[in-house]
Structure 1
Amino acid sequence: MIDQTDTRAVAKAEKSPFLRLALEAGPLLIFFVANQVVGAMPAIAVFMAALVVAVALSVRLERRWPIMPMVSCVFVLIFGGLTLWLNDDLFFKLKPTVVNLLFAAILFAGLATGRNFLKLMMGTVFELDELGWRILTWRWAVFFVVLAVINEIVWRNFSFSFWAGFKLFGILPLTLVFAMAQMPVLMRHQVKPAE
């Protein structure tokens, strides 16, 4: 049975964008610091553990399964496990490319088949008309492709340490700026609740 305090904590977690940001950025920050202190391979192991904890906390606090963080976590465990097992960081550097292209492919496939997967994932957060969902889906699909290309450019041309820092100080802020840039679409296509 859930007591009143626990219910308030869950409601607060669902409404707090800062808590969500901490749960998503925290493991990246831990990875960055661990890489600076102990090196790539131990940092990858620490990151894998931190991400599992963050997803578990998300599930516990929000009382729902966060789809994108969970998919990312599964891929981190697979690619991180391969990296540690084979002692080759190539697999870990490829993970963001594979995940971003997977998300883009799912969104593009949904658009091509008349299904809007972004709406399925975020329909409880935003109420938009169909055109708004289509615009957002196209933009996020293209953005995921851009993130994949950026990841490929960075890991192929810079050191592992630079790449690790860029994930935290480049990709994360870029994603936040892109998400905020979608506010005009959200406002213009928001469905007004019935009186």
Structure 2
Amino acid sequence: MAQKEVNPFLKMGLELGPILIFFVAYLRLKDRLFTIGGNEYEGFIVVTAAFIPLLIASTGALWWLTGKLSKMQIATLVLVVVFGGLSVWLNDDRFFKMKPTMIYVLFGGILGFGLLRGTSYLQSLMEEMMPLKDAGWIILTRRAMMFFFGLAILNEIVWRSTSTETWVYFKTFGLSAALFGFFMTQGKLFQEYAIEEDDPVDADTPEA
């Protein structure tokens, strides 16, 4: 399927909508217990069970509308289905809380594997949005790899040492703010390694 243009607000709604719906639903149901099939489930588990098909539907809609899914979107969907499904099946919220850890370890590991091969997998994902010289991509990828590993560690600390409600706030807003903040702090790198028109082919070696 060829990639198609789609309204950016619709695209953003499909990407962020399930997360916001999960957050609102959790706030409404967090203190309730549900008896299903003779078993009691906390609101968090019920909301997680609803979140899985919602994310599948929104990701499917994105694929149908745009004709393309990024590897990150596919990996996120798979991990949500696996870890969310385990939480629901075993009635244990720990699996879903570990999901961000697995996602960030996976992303960091993939970027690290690419760096060992002397290439930037981040470049293949984001080159159209941010044209940089090759040296800039290597530096950005190295920083992103360490950042993702740091987020994985942070998620483990938060979910293991705080309440479920605190973790939900952290997952919904804290991790998103951290990702936004990371790219905002890379402004100097973007300026230094940005590709200008008529730039020669980049042969620089990254220094940091």
- The residue that corresponds to 2:166 in the other structure is 162
Say if 1:71 and 1:176 are closer, same or farther in 2 by CA, change over 3 A.
same
The one-letter code sitting in structure 2 at the alignment partner of 1:35 is Y
Higher-Rg member (1/2): 2
Question: For the residues of structure 2 that align with 1:12 and 1:72, how far apart are their CA atoms?
Answer: 21
- The residue that corresponds to 1:50 in the other structure is 54
User: For the Cα contact (< 8 Å) 1:154–1:163, is it kept in 2?
Assistant: yes
TM-score normalised by the chain length of structure 2: 0.80
Residues 75-128 of structure 1: CA deviation (Å, up to 9, x unaligned): 000001111111111111111111101110111111011121111222232221
**Equivalent residue in structure 1 for 2:13, among 22, 31, 40:** 22
User: For the Cα contact (< 8 Å) 1:32–1:168, is it kept in 2?
Assistant: yes
Q: Secondary structure at the match of 1:11?
A: coil
Question: For the residues of structure 2 that align with 1:174 and 1:180, how far apart are their CA atoms?
Answer: 10
- The residue that corresponds to 2:182 in the other structure is 178
Aligned length, in residue pairs: 185
Question: For the residues of structure 1 that align with 2:74 and 2:186, how far apart are their CA atoms?
Answer: 24
Task: Identify unmatched segments of 5+ residues in structure 2.
Answer: 30-42, 200-208
Post-superposition offset of 1:20? 4.7
RMSD: 2.1
User: For the Cα contact (< 8 Å) 1:23–1:58, is it kept in 2?
Assistant: yes
Residue pairs, 1:119-130, within 5 angstroms: 119-130=123-134
User: For the Cα contact (< 8 Å) 2:111–2:122, is it kept in 1?
Assistant: yes
Higher helix share: 1
User: For the Cα contact (< 8 Å) 2:119–2:138, is it kept in 1?
Assistant: no
Say if 1:20 and 1:133 are closer, same or farther in 2 by CA, change over 3 A.
farther
Task: Identify unmatched segments of 5+ residues in structure 1.
Answer: none
Does structure 1 residue 92 correspond to structure 2 residue 120?
no
Work out the percentage of aligned pairs sharing the same amino acid. 38
- The residue that corresponds to 2:152 in the other structure is 148
User: For the Cα contact (< 8 Å) 2:108–2:149, is it kept in 1?
Assistant: yes
- The residue that corresponds to 2:85 in the other structure is 81
User: For the Cα contact (< 8 Å) 1:128–1:186, is it kept in 2?
Assistant: yes
Q: Secondary structure at the match of 1:57?
A: helix
